[in-house]
C-alpha cells in the first residue's frame, strides 16, 4: 500500500506555505491535522527547496526542526527530516525521526553517508544535479528517464560502497529538480524504469510548477492539489512506496479509490 508523506515546512520562504508553520506550536498543530487526515509520515523541513532558494545555516535549520520533531515523535508520529545536512540528520535522529529525506542524495554534504550509517535511519536518495540556485542550468537531457535512472544508480553504488545498508534506501527521481515540465512528465511516464533498480520509490509532485501549467494563468498554488492527487493515484498504481504531498485529504481519497479499484479486480 502506498504511504502518504505529509509536508511540514518549518520555513519562512517555501513556495506554497512559507511562514505558515514557522512557530513550533503552529507546526505541531498542522502536523497532527495532517495525521488525522490520513498522513502516514510527516516530513519536517527547515530549509526551502523552492527553485532559486539559498542555503540555510545548519544551526538555524536544526533550531527550526528539532523541537517540532521531538514533540511529534513523543506523540507517536512517524517523522522524516527533509535535510541535506548530516548534522541536522543526526540531531533529528536523536529527536526520534525515522527517515532522512535528502534532496541532494548525499552530494551536498560529504558527511551525510556517515550520518546515515551512524543513525541507521531509512534514507531517501533523490536525483540531484546541483545547488538549488543553479538547478535550472542542469536541466539538459538526451534521454531523461535513462539518465535519471543511471545517475540514481551511481548514487546507490557509492552509498553501498560507503557501507550503507541497501535495505535502508529509498529512491526519489526528483521531480522539479534540474528538470523542466517535459522532463518531469517523462520521468512520471517512465516510473517503472526507475523501479527496476529494485528500491522503494518516493514521488514528490505536490504543487510543483509543472502542475501549474495545467491550470488557468494566475491560479493559486493550492489549485495544484487536484492534479497532485491524480498523480498520487497513478503513482500508486505503478507501485510506489510513498507520495509526498501538501494536501493529504485529496490524496487520501485518491489512494482509497485506487485501493477499491484494485480490490474490485481481485473479487
Rounded Cα distance between 6 and 160, Å, is 28
Residue 179 known to be catalytic: no
* Catalytically annotated residue among 71, 149, 179, 208: 208
Q: How high is the pLDDT of residue 141?
A: 95
pLDDT in tens, 118-154: 999 999 999 999 765 555 667 899 999 999 999 999 9
- Tens of pLDDT, residue by residue, the chain (267 residues): 999 999 999 987 555 555 566 788 999 999 999 999 999 999 999 987 766 667 789 999 999 999 999 999 999 999 999 999 999 999 999 999 999 999 999 999 999 999 999 999 999 999 999 765 555 667 899 999 999 999 999 999 999 999 999 999 999 999 999 999 999 999 999 999 999 999 999 999 999 999 999 999 999 999 999 999 999 999 999 999 999 999 999 999 999 999 999 999 776
Rounded Cα distance between 20 and 17, Å, is 6
Torsion over CA: 23, 24, 25, 26 (sign): positive
* Catalytically annotated residue among 70, 179, 244, 252: 244
Q: Cβ neighbours of residue 51 under 8 Å, at least 6 residues apart?
A: 15, 132, 135, 136, 176, 209
pLDDT in tens, 67-104: 999 999 999 999 999 999 999 999 999 999 999 999 99
Rounded Cα distance between 175 and 145, Å, is 12
Q: How high is the pLDDT of residue 99?
A: 98
Q: Among the residues of 120-237, which ranges form H helices?
A: 144-161, 181-189, 191-195, 209-212, 225-237
Angle at 218 (CA atoms; ends 215, 219), nearest 5 degrees: 50
Residue 90 known to be catalytic: no
Amino acid at each position: 500500500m502506498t504511504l502518504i508523506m505529509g509536508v511540514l515546512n518549518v520555513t519562512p520562504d517555501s513556495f506554497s506555505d512559507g511562514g505558515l508553520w514557522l512557530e513550533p506550536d503552529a507546526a505541531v498543530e498542522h502536523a497532527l491535522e495532517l495525521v488525522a487526515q490520513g498522513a502516514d509520515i510527516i516530513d519536517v523541513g527547515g530549509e526551502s527547496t523552492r527553485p532559486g532558494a539559498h542555503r540555510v545555516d545548519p544551526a538555524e535549520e536544526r533550531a527550526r526542526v528539532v523541537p517540532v520533531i521531538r514533540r511529534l515523535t513523543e506523540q507517536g508520529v512517524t517523522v522524516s527530516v527533509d535535510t541535506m545536512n548530516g548534522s541536522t540528520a543526526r540531531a533529528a535522529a536523536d529527536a526520534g525521526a525515522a527517515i532522512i529525506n535528502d534532496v541532494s542524495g548525499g552530494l551536498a554534504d560529504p558527511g551525510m553517508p556517515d550520518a546515515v550509517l551512524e543513525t541507521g535511519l531509512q534514507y531517501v536518495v533523490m536525483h540531484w544535479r546541483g545547488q538549488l540556485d543553479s538547478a535550472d542550468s542542469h536541466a539538459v537531457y538526451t534521454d531523461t528517464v535513462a539518465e535519471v535512472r543511471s545517475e540514481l544508480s551511481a548514487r546507490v553504488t557509492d552509498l553501498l560502497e560507503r557501507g550503507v545498508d541497501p535495505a535502508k534506501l529509498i529512491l526519489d527521481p526528483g521531480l522539479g529538480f534540474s528538470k523542466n515540465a517535459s522532463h518531469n512528465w517523462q520521468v512520471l511516464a517512465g516510473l517503472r524504469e526507475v523501479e527496476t533498480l529494485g528500491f522503494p520509490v518516493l514521488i514528490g509532485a505536490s504543487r510543483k510548477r509543472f502542475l501549474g501549467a495545467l491550470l488557468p494563468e494566475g491560479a493559486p498554488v493550492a489549485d495544484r492539489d487536484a492534479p497532485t492527487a491524480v498523480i498520487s493515484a497513478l503513482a500508486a498504481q505503478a507501485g510506489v512506496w510513498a507520495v509526498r504531498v501538501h494536501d493529504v485529504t485529496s490524496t487520501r481519497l485518491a489512494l482509497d479509490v485506487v485501493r477499491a479499484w484494485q480490490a474490485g479486480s481481485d473479487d
